[in-house]
Amino acid sequence: MSLVIIKLAGILFWHLYNSLMFAQRVFLYRFTYSS
């Protein structure tokens, strides 16, 4: 049971990390081309 929870936590963390990287990339893209 604990292995399933760890796996779900890892997947959730991976999606959160990817969304943060995507948001940072979009922010840098807009910041670079706005000026």
- The pLDDT profile of the chain, 35 residues, written as one tens digit per residue, is 799 999 999 999 999 999 999 999 999 999 888 86
* Per-residue confidence (pLDDT) for residue 34, from 0 to 100: 81
Can you give the pTM of this predicted structure?
0.62
Sign of the dihedral defined by the CA atoms of residues 12, 10, 3, 5, in that order: negative
Could you give the count of Cα atoms lying within 13 Å of 11 in the half-sphere of its Cβ?
6
